[in-house]
Amino acid sequence: MLPPAAADAESLEIAAQVQDIEARLLLSQGQAESAAVTWEAVVIAYEQSGDLSLAQQAQLSQAQALQSAGFYRRSVDLLTALTTRLSAQPPSELSVRAALSLGEAFRLTGALAEAETQFQTSLQGAESLSLADLASAVYLNLGNLTRLQTESSRGQAADYYQQAITRAASPWFRIQAQLAQLDWWIAEAHWQDAYHLVSVLWEEIATLPLNPTNVYAQIELVEHLQAIRQATLTTLIDLAIANFDGLADTAWTAFVSQTFAAEPDSLRSSYADSQSIPEQSLWTALDRQFLPLADMATRLATLRRTAQALGNAQAEATILGALGNLYEQVEDWDAAAQVTQAGLVLAQSYNLVQVTYGLQAQLGRIQLAQGDRSAAISAYQASVQTLQVMRADVVAVSSEAQYSFQKSIEPIYRELATLLLEEGNEGTSADNLKHVLGEDIL
């Protein structure tokens, strides 16, 4: 029979193990804040049982969950305390991970110099312990950090991403690095490199086990595909118009609208039937290789079933939004509205404001295309109201989040302002627009 103290310690450890499983489940379901609260209880239980090593591991998990939930400063405080304690111990995988997470937290709060210091510390530990995947993760984060620094240093990002790809020992870490590299190629308009990489990733990522992280990676991949496709079609339209300058009569306008609103196969057929449109090597080559939207929709449908099986409402709502955007691209407005509305209802039922505002704006855009201006204005106004709820949290914590937030919301405010002005009602004065849209936007 165990002494009372040993029995108590064993009971505490069992309770901690059960709560650790619960926290991981909550995180997999997109409930990061609840997961962080549960891991806090795990930390306390392990400390009371005397197992400080497991307590430190749980504290790292708690800090990472806080980051996922947007509580960056609380994450910084926890990780700073944790890395200080770990620095008095021999280097370990835990100390490498903690320094990496603290670097990420510093980056998110705009402390770029401190972030680089932690990344270099983490890299040194990963190299000394031969932790290839963690070294890959550090190089990926150095690439992300470099993109926030001076314009002259931005070019280093591509080198860091390539290092991350080269160093990765496991397929998943390599794919994460490739996704970051793909985002860089698109941001820098390196379309040929971007399409080559996205074609490789489309096949590779589908071979990995489906879990929450993989689901979000595949959603990101589809969004990148849509960005490349839109750039391709827009450029082809511009090239065609430039070569038909002065000939934009009714027949030509009809030809352009029919050709470029079509699926890629139809687009290629239109090229073949017309001897007047010049061959544009890069853009027509991209178009010829482009994945049909039907393939993207099939992948998203599979991902939605996975998200449902995992109980991850945030992932499912995001997938429904991406699927609605695909329907937008082929101008199936009824289907686009139906799918977007389903995602919106799901996001609102779980209070997922970071997903809700985008879906509200997307629904407004679709309703405008359907000719329902009143409904579109209501949807855009709802999106702005959701953004007002988010604004205080974003402004209070993260410079990177502030930049991303501003970049994503500006089109929503501009579209609403345009609609209100076009309505010509009494509520469209400058003062009223400032009241509706926010003083700092106009």
- Residue-wise pLDDT for 225-273, tens only, equals 888 887 777 776 666 656 555 444 444 344 444 444 444 444 344 433 4
In which domain, by residue range, is 334 found? 312-442
Task: Report residue 210 as tokens.
Answer: 């489906």
Domain final position from 70, 94, 129: 70
427 in a structural domain: yes
Residue 254's pLDDT is: 47
330-350 core/surface letters (b: 16 or more CB in 10 A; e: else)? eeebebbbebbbbbbebbbeb
280 in a structural domain: no
398 in a structural domain: yes
Indicate which CATH number applies to the domain containing 437. 1.25.40.10
83 in a structural domain: no
Please give the distance of CA 5 from its chain centroid, rounded to a whole number.
48
Measured CA to CA, the distance from residue 101 to residue 93 in angstroms comes to: 12
Domain final position from 39, 70, 101: 70
Residue 53: count other Cβ atoms within 10 Å of its Cβ.
Answer: 11
Residues 6+ apart with CB under 8 A from 40: 62
Domain final position from 70, 95, 128: 70
3-state SS class at 149 = coil
Domain count, the chain: 2
Residue 293: count other Cβ atoms within 10 Å of its Cβ.
Answer: 17
The low-confidence residues of the chain, meaning pLDDT below 50, are 1-3, 246-279, 394-397, 426, 428-429, 439-442
281 in a structural domain: no
287 in a structural domain: no
3-state SS class at 55 = helix
DSSP per-residue letters across 336-391: HHHHHHHHHHHHHHTT-HHHHHHHHHHHHHHHHHTT-HHHHHHHHHHHHHHHHHHH
Measured CA to CA, the distance from residue 54 to residue 13 in angstroms comes to: 9
Q: Whole-model pTM above 0.85?
A: no
Residue 435's pLDDT is: 53
57 in a structural domain: yes
DSSP per-residue letters across 90-114: ---HHHHHHHHHHHHHHHHTT-HHH
Residue 342's pLDDT is: 95
396 in a structural domain: yes
